[in-house]
Amino acid sequence: MELASAVQAVKASGVGAVAASLRMPDGSKLAAAALHHEYGSHLFFSHKQDKGQDQVASARSDVLLLTKGVKLFVDVEAYEFEDLGDLEQLTEQTQNFLLLLTDGIFDSQYVVVNELLVALMHNIPIIVMRETDTRHGGLMMQEFREQFFASQHVQAVVAKPEVMQAGWDAAKMADFLLNEKSDHDVLHLEWHRERAMKNATLKAIVERIHAMPVDSLVWRDGMVYGGTASVQNDDIPVPKNDHHLFLSDAHPDSETIASLLRERFPSLRILVSSDPTPSCDWALILLSDGAFNDPAYEPSVVNAVKHLGMDRIMLFYKGPACGGAPFATLHQQCPERIKGEPPEGLNMLSKMASEWMDNPRYREICLHKVAWNVMQQGAEIVGGADMGVNLTVEEPMLTVVTEV
């Protein structure tokens, strides 16, 4: 595939026919993103095809729906290049380089030698998008760093005289995988399948394409987080009981979650306690690896469900996205009297669960889910991803409005 053909593919791929669903804070539409090079692209998607092609295809199509006039290049076309210098030139001419991290990504010579190295050495802004689902090649960042240093292609690259003369070694190259410690211009994102989480990623990509600061844009409907409700502190009503929310003090993360909620929503009245009959409107139950190793957690959960009723339980879990265990493992760890069928059990895991996030960008959505439930004082709306084990799925969809 010649460079001229590749450039035409970039040009043909880019212009979105659907009106942008992201807006400026004043409600105005996004202007077309500037393109600094005639043959360049706004965004270059780099990925390993065996585990990343579906994610890249989804992200690419969504970006084209969310902002018009952008030119994107997907490196799957690299397999048709006869001269890899053409691929390197396309990398040099992009304004943003997105690397999708999936298991084995650094086993690809194309990714390491012809794309990533070029982006780093030419100081191209990088978006690192980490797959979070272990079923689709997701790993924790430390595991990706280990794979990076073990890559034979990385070792070959840093041994090149021109790379050594430029002062690059494996450690310096690997800095782009560190969230806030790299000298390079790097934006760290995660790839999720729950719509609200995915939208947070897509919005950040669009903001980077338009060279805007983080959180410069809002969704067309005025919501801060597309796919889930946004809550203002003043919207939170006075609790019907003494507190809005109960968390068990037998879970090691309860105090941290309560602190985050209080900081974000000062009007929330939260009780972290072992009280078997808390005077609260809701209870937040968090499933995490080893949580039930504390013998006090099981009776605390049971008491909360029996006292408040299942419809007043918000169920969250810490999964692989933040270093936790898959839901199937958490299901196995859950005591029978909590997950079992009535009358012996509470059947709590038949309830819709939402994944709790540690990354602040995505954790903010979790905080809003909690506050929205409290504000509604009705049936819960938290949405979860389908983990395949006794979960009811509710994934709010992104609304895209077509304009003629």
- What does the domain layout of the chain look like in residue ranges? 3-219, 233-376
Instruction: Evaluate whether 187 touches 204 at the Cβ level (below 8 Å).
Output: yes
Mean pLDDT throughout 14-42? 72
Tens digits of per-residue pLDDT, 339-396?
Answer: 999 999 999 999 889 999 999 999 999 999 999 989 876 544 444 433 333 332 233 3
Q: Which residues contact 223 (CB under 8 A, 6 or more apart)?
A: 229, 230
Mean pLDDT score of the chain: 84
Side-chain-facing half-sphere of 365: CA atoms under 13 Å: 28
Are 3-219 and 233-376 equal in CATH topology? yes
Q: Which residues contact 289 (CB under 8 A, 6 or more apart)?
A: 318, 324, 325, 329, 330, 333
pLDDT of 404 higher than 60: no
Pairing of strands 218-219, 22-23: antiparallel
Mean pLDDT throughout 269-284? 96
Helix (H) or strand (E) holding 55: helix 49-66
Confidence of residue 196 (pLDDT cuts 50, 70, 90): confident
Q: Which residue has the higher pLDDT, 76 or 236?
A: 236
pLDDT of 4 higher than 80: no
Q: What's the CATH number of domain 233-376, 3.40.50.1970, 3.40.50.10140, 3.60.110.10, 3.30.70.270?
A: 3.40.50.10140
Tell me phi and psi for residue 128, to 5 degrees: -100, 115
pLDDT of 231 higher than 90: no
The percentage of residues in the chain with a pLDDT greater than 70, rounded to a whole number, is 82
What are residue 397's DSSP bridge partners? none
DSSP assignment of 246-273: EEETTSTTHHHHHHHHHHH-TT--EEEE
Q: Which fold has domain 3-219?
A: Rossmann fold (3.40.50)
Tokens representing 342 are: 């009535």
